[in-house]
Amino acid sequence: MTSPLFSPLALRELTLPNRIVIAPMCMYSAVDGKVGDFHTMHVGTLAQSGAGLFILEATAVTPEGRITPLCPGLWDDACAAAWAPVLAAARQHSQMPLAIQLAHAGRKASCAAPWLSRGQLAPDAGGWQTLAPSPLPFEVGESAPQALDAGGLARIRDAFAAAARRADRLGIDAVEIHAAHGYLLHQFLSPLANQRSDAYGGSLENRLRFPLEVFDAVRAVWPAGKPLGLRVSATDWVDGGWEIEQTLVLAQALQARGCDFLHVSSGGLSPAQQIVPAPGYQLPFARRVKAETGLTTIGVGLITEPQQAEAAIADGDADLVALARGILWNPRWPWHAAAALGAQIAAPPQYWRGAPAEAGHVFRR
């Protein structure tokens, strides 16, 4: 019997060999926006995991869009040149499709790497002026962001498109636009962060406007044969904030614009959020998007066991499942899942003899 988790999925001209996605995970290991040796090792390791798609970490489209000074960028050709050898090394030994998440952190930028300290960095400590829809800080006591004017909106919209062009020149297979977890595009969507009185604030139609403009700008330059999707927080988990019904309206608008997938997460917009995490706790959001719009969905959130991931696909909760912390802990998770589910998976022949006798069938030869 064929395993649903290990069945292929086509997105435009890209065919994923299975439904396991490596979610974008911040590594905080770049220098002036440029990746280096750490990323060669990190990307190379996960590119040999056998997953169906690897989405590279949140990559800033402008310098002030970084979450921390150690986040990677794709805002100029020097940043792109730093990515080139990292990707080349991975591709030399892996056929795994590679996507990249393009992002702008908005008011949640200018922070220290989490293992160094918590909260925003002051300008004299390596921080910078943050930008947002409205001058509302993420947390009490933080410096207020500067509200974006028309020129600032145009600059950021164009920066997303320019970064997508660079990603294409690097041979990236797909792009995911980051509109989740309280970062800039999510800030425009949520009435908790967006209190503008112009055409980009107030009504749901207005709050959708800038994220949709960014999507349109990227779709216009991204090759027609390559998938383009969006990561979204389905709810803020705060009364009066962004919620699933509004997410469905966004999903329908994106679908009409040629969106290929929605990566459905939640939260991150407000410290007041009330979340009780549990295995698969975000899958109901992905299920609704999939059922009510027909968009291809990526489900995520404490998906840790092969049978759990298999059930999510088989039961129609999502079309793909994404792992983040779980695959950092166990970079061979897809191998073990294939063994548990009676499936086969691609892996470097140098590792074939590592399989125990009872899992000898797992590697596709």
Tell me, yes or no, if 183 is annotated catalytic: yes
Positive or negative, the Cα torsion across 22, 163, 143, 115?
positive
Determine the pLDDT at residue 360: 72
CA distance 38 to 35: 8
Contacts of 354 (CB under 8 A, 6+ apart): none
> What's the full length of the chain, in residues?
365
Task: Give the ranges where the chain is alpha helix by DSSP (H).
Answer: 37-47, 77-93, 150-169, 184-189, 204-221, 244-256, 283-293, 306-314, 325-329, 333-341
Q: Quick one: DSSP state of residue 270?
A: -
* Residue tagged active-site, from 28, 183, 281, 351: 183
**H or E element at residue 177:** strand 174-179
CA distance 42 to 166: 21
Determine the pLDDT at residue 253: 98
Determine the pLDDT at residue 1: 58
Q: Residues 260, 264, 42, 114: what is their CA dihedral angle, to the nearest 10 degrees?
A: 140
CA distance 181 to 179: 7
Determine the pLDDT at residue 124: 87
Determine the pLDDT at residue 271: 95
Domains belonging to the chain, first-starting first, are 4-359 (3.20.20.70)
CA distance 310 to 316: 10
Using alpha carbons, select from 245, 236, 243 the residue that is nearest to residue 138: 236
Q: What is the full per-residue pLDDT of the chain (365 aa) written as tens digits?
A: 589 999 999 999 999 999 999 999 999 999 999 999 999 999 999 999 999 999 999 999 999 999 999 999 999 999 999 999 999 999 999 999 999 999 999 999 999 999 998 889 988 899 999 999 999 999 988 999 999 999 999 999 999 999 999 999 999 999 999 999 999 999 999 999 999 999 999 999 999 999 999 999 999 999 999 999 999 999 999 999 999 999 999 999 999 999 999 999 999 999 999 998 999 999 999 999 999 999 999 999 999 999 999 999 999 999 999 999 999 999 999 999 999 999 999 999 999 998 898 887 899 87
Determine the pLDDT at residue 361: 85
Pairing of strands 14-16, 9-11: antiparallel
Determine the pLDDT at residue 60: 98
DSSP string over 17-64: SSSEEE--------BTTB--HHHHHHHHHHHTS--SEEEEEEEESSGG
Q: What CA–CA distances, in Å, run from 330 to 94, 233, 281, 304?
A: 18, 26, 21, 10
CB of 298 closer than 8 Å to CB of 322: yes
Residue keyed to tokens 């800030």: 187
The tokens describing 280, both together, are: 């698969």
